[in-house]
Amino acid sequence: MNRITKVFKEKKNNILSIYYTAGYPGLGDTIAIAAALEKAGADMLEIGFPYSDPVADGPVIQASSKQSLDQGMDLNLLFEQLKELRKTVTIPVLLMGYVNPVLQYGVERFCKACAEVGVDGCIVPDLPMVEYEEFYKDTFLKYGLSNIFLVTPETSVERIHKIDSLSNGFIYLLSSSATTGQNLQVSDTTAAYFSRIAAMELNNPTMIGFGISSKETFDKACNYANGGIIGTAFVKSLPSGNLEENIETFMAKFRA
Amino acid sequence: MNYFVNEKGYYGDFGGAYIPEMLYPNVEELRQNYLKIIGDADFQKEFHHLLKDYVGRPSPLYLAERLSKRYNANIFLKREDLNHTGAHKINNTIGQILLAEKLGKKRIIAETGAGQHGVATATVCALRGLECVVYMGEIDIQRQAPNVARMKMLGAKVVSAVSGSKTLKDATNEAMRDWINNPVDTHYIIGSVVGPHPYPDMVSIFQSIISEETKKQLIEQTGNDQPDYVLACVGGGSNAMGMFYHFINDENVKLIAVEAGGKGVDTGFSAATTFLGKEGVLHGSRSILMQTADGQVVEPHSVSAGLDYPGIGPQHAHLFKTTRAEYVSITDDEALDAGLLCTQMEGIIPAIESAHALAYLEKMKFTGGENVVVCLSGRGDKDMDTYMKHFGF
């Protein structure tokens, strides 16, 4: 069983997933951050591979991506670093990034490298569902990778069912149609949207992301989904000071 | 061979809609409606009325006699520089603002490099009374101050893109982020034949008025609607696609697309995408783009801000790969010289973008009597600083 499937089987709610950018703040911090996050209570990790033109991201993740690239991060180096991943990290790990670096690396070569280092799935926001189904799905399945799709408040019911049928891990619910790093406001319409999804009884579990920055917003997310994903708020906490202490302090708020 | 978009939004291997889910409803709404709206008789009537009485179309097809003598061929200039706002860009913004109204949008966003598309967008927003936000790279804001002033006077809000390289590519990223954050009431007027399907097709349809008129004018002036050559400059490629559109299936018409070679294709300061690029995905479509081995987008260079873009539209990538059009490059210096030559031989100061197309005439060999159409996509008023510095006037 894939580690993602396993975590949702063993722990049905309050699942906490953390996003961070590989090679940031220090180029060599990728594995240390993963290990510290698991130790501090994260249930799942999303490691961002940086891209020069991240259109779905707000300023914080853009800046971390740029710094990482400037320091020399690329997919070759990332997979080299990830060879150490499974020596210390047991929780599910996804890679998140844009489609062009994957295309240049080679889709099959990318999937194979993921499987070899123990990556469980991918989130590629600008890879369209129709392209995935036609050109990528078989390769992803061959290497046992989950592909995670995004759903927004504007996504139609019909499309959500289609996404559910193609998903094999969880579905990533965006709190609003927005770039990363906005604040989660659970207004009446957002609550209605989350409830609408919950009532659809999808085959896949759901995680809410985009805009979760505090225990309060995380708890709100957990009312409607199996858990929440934190990205920008975590990346913001990293740049200065001791890495492990920063991570412990950050995570203590959510695991209190 | 099909050179136009297929039902899946592709031109051969290129095109598609590589967009995050947040943009899917907007782009899908466009995809489902654009042909229906554009094909509607009332829309066509209004579009052509504005092109005629507001933009000043048809733009002349002018036989440039002194240039013709110099090159030993009949050099026809398609005078897009005479359009209202000074370039071909307004053909597209008129079309898209009418389309945005039909879709019930209240707010318009756009990206701009040199500022020509930004001005053309701000102009149609003023014309129709819609809110307008233009994203422009911080560096371009500094080097194109007169166009920034025009946009502001027209009532647009100009937002500085401070991410990445702070030029056109980053202005495009910021516009896409704005659209993600404002999905319901906003229409994004992309200024070139780039972006997710249906943008490349939609923009080329609006720009195709250029070749539609040219064919009629060629019949009047030469008795034959098929010239020997058609030339246009290519950044993203909207004037070239408009200039090529109705000639694409006339296989005996040679199409020449002129890219910005910058300081020279091999100098590391160039925007010659087909020479330096590889297949990949940028700004929502699969095309050819300048990138590192790791797939990071490379910053281009051109003296002309309008050609300073690391990709080309997907239809151009298809015309290049199938060899239906020939892609060549012209350096900064060659373009500036050609701009001066056109000014002093024909009394027309061309935009430096358009001067790239003119410069390629110097490299062609004519036997006499060939009919050659060059798209003079814009006027050079905005480039006076660059011309004056370069030539020391």
At B143 the pLDDT is 78
Cβ contacts (< 8 Å) between A151 and chain B: which residues?
21
Nearest CA to B204 out of B248, B160, B164 is that of: B248
Chain B residues closer than 8 Å to A131 by CB: 16, 18
Across the interface, whether the CB atoms of A103 and B295 are under 8 A apart is answered yes
3-class DSSP assignment, residue B98: helix
**How far lies B296's CA from each of A81, A125, B63, B310, in Å?**
20, 16, 44, 11
State the DSSP code for A179. -
pTM score, two decimals?
A: 0.96
Question: Inter-chain contact A131–B281, Cβ cutoff 8 Å?
Answer: no
Q: How far apart are CA B378 and CA A104, in angstroms?
A: 36
Average pLDDT score over residue span A217-227:
93
Q: Which residues does chain A have within 8 Å of residue B177's beta carbon, measured at their own beta carbons?
A: 55-56, 58, 179
Which of the four pLDDT bands, split at 50, 70 and 90, describes residue B213? very high
User: Which residue in B78, B89, B105, B382 is the catalytic one?
Assistant: B89
Q: What is the pLDDT of residue A1?
A: 65
Buried/exposed code over B235-256 (b: 16+ C-beta within 10 A; e: otherwise): bbbbbbbbbbbbbbebeebbbb
| Least confident among A59-63, B134-138, B166-170, B378-382 | B166-170
Q: For residues A168-191, give the mean pLDDT.
A: 83
With residues binned 3-state (H G I as helix, E B as strand, rest as coil), the percentages for chain B, rounded to 5, are 50, 20, 30
- So what's the pLDDT on residue A45? 98
**What mean pLDDT do residues A183-197 have?**
82
Q: In the 8-state DSSP scheme, what is residue B59?
A: P
Q: Taking CA atoms, what residue in A is nearest to B20?
A: A126
Q: Is the separation of the CB atoms in B190 and B204 below 8 Å?
A: no
- The per-residue pLDDT for A183 is 74
Tell me the mean pLDDT in the region B242-246: 98
CB contact under 8 A, A100 and B173: no
CA distance B12 to chain A (A): 15
The mean pLDDT value for B178-185 works out to: 92
Q: Please tell me which of the candidates B21, B163, B282 has its beta carbon nearest to residue A150.
A: B21
Q: Report how far apart, in Å, the C-alpha atoms of B34 and of each of B110, B200, B267 are.
A: 18, 12, 42
What is the least distance, in Å, from the CA of A63 to any CA of chain B?
Answer: 8
Out of B25, B173, B281, closest to residue A100 by CB: B281
pLDDT at B300: 93
Q: How many CB pairs under 8 A join A and B?
A: 111
Rounded CA-CA distance B191/B200 in Å is 10
Least Cα distance to B199 among B190, B187, B208 occurs for B190
Is the ipTM higher than 0.90? The answer is yes
**Nearest Cα to A230, choosing from A14, A52, A70?**
A14
Q: Which of the four pLDDT bands, split at 50, 70 and 90, describes residue A181?
A: confident
Q: What's the rounded Cα separation, in Å, for the pair A202 and A171?
A: 9
Q: What is the pLDDT of residue A199?
A: 92
Residues, chain A: 256
Residue range A211-237: mean pLDDT, rounded: 93
Q: Mean pLDDT, to the nearest integer, of B72-97? A: 98
pLDDT at B347 over 70: yes
CB contact under 8 A, A53 and B177: no
In tens, the pLDDT along B90-107 reads 999 999 999 999 999 999
When CB atoms are compared, the residue of B20, B278, B297 closest to A53 is B297
Q: Please name the residue of chain B whose CA is at the shortest distance from the CA of residue A181.
A: B181
Does residue B138 have an active-site annotation? Answer: no
Asked if residue A43 has pLDDT above 80, the reply is yes
The phi, psi pair for A11, rounded to 5°, reads -130, 110
Confidence of residue A18 (pLDDT cuts 50, 70, 90): very high
Q: Which residue of B has its CA nearest to A104?
A: B295
Tens of pLDDT, residue by residue over B318-337, are 999 999 999 999 999 999 99
Instruction: Pick the closest to residue B163 from B181, B195, B137, B142 (CA basis).
Output: B137
Is A9 a residue whose pLDDT tops 90?
yes
d(C-alpha B234, C-alpha A149), whole Å: 36
Q: What is the pLDDT of residue A35?
A: 98
Lowest-pLDDT range of A153-157, B51-55, B246-250: A153-157
Say whether pLDDT at A256 is over 70: no
Residues of A with CB under 8 A from a CB of B: 51-56, 58-59, 62, 66, 69, 74-76, 98-105, 125-128, 130-131, 149-152, 154-156, 159, 174, 177-179, 182
* Cα–Cα distance, B80 to B60 (Å, whole number): 8
The answer to whether the CB atoms of B17 and A152 lie below 8 A apart is no
Residue A250 confidence class, pLDDT cut points 50, 70, 90: very high
Percentage of chain A exceeding pLDDT 90: 85
| Mean pLDDT, rounded, for A92-116 | 98
| Cβ partners under 8 Å of residue B10, min gap 6 | B16, B197, B286, B314
Query: What residues of chain A lie within 8 A of the CB of B25, using their CB?
Result: 152, 154-156
Closest residue in B to A101 (Cα–Cα): B295
Please name the residues in contact with A10: beta carbons below 8 A apart, sequence gap of 6 or more.
none
Cβ distance of A177 and B294 shorter than 8 Å: no
Catalytic residues of A: 46, 57
Average pLDDT over residues B350-377: 97
Q: What is the arithmetic mean of pLDDT over A37-46?
A: 97
Total H helices, total E strands in chain A: 14, 9
**Predicted local confidence at residue A12, as pLDDT:** 86
> Nearest residue on chain B to A67, judged by CA atoms?
B164
What confidence score (pLDDT) does residue B270 get? Answer: 97
Could you tell me the CA-to-CA distances from B272 to A12, A103, A203, B267, B297 in Å, in that order?
54, 22, 49, 11, 14
Structural element, H or E, at residue A122: strand A121-123
CB A254 within 8 A of CB A228: no
| Cβ-based contacts of A105 with chain B (< 8 Å) | 294-295
pLDDT at A190: 84
Q: What percent of chain B has pLDDT over 70?
A: 100
Mean residue pLDDT across chain B: 96
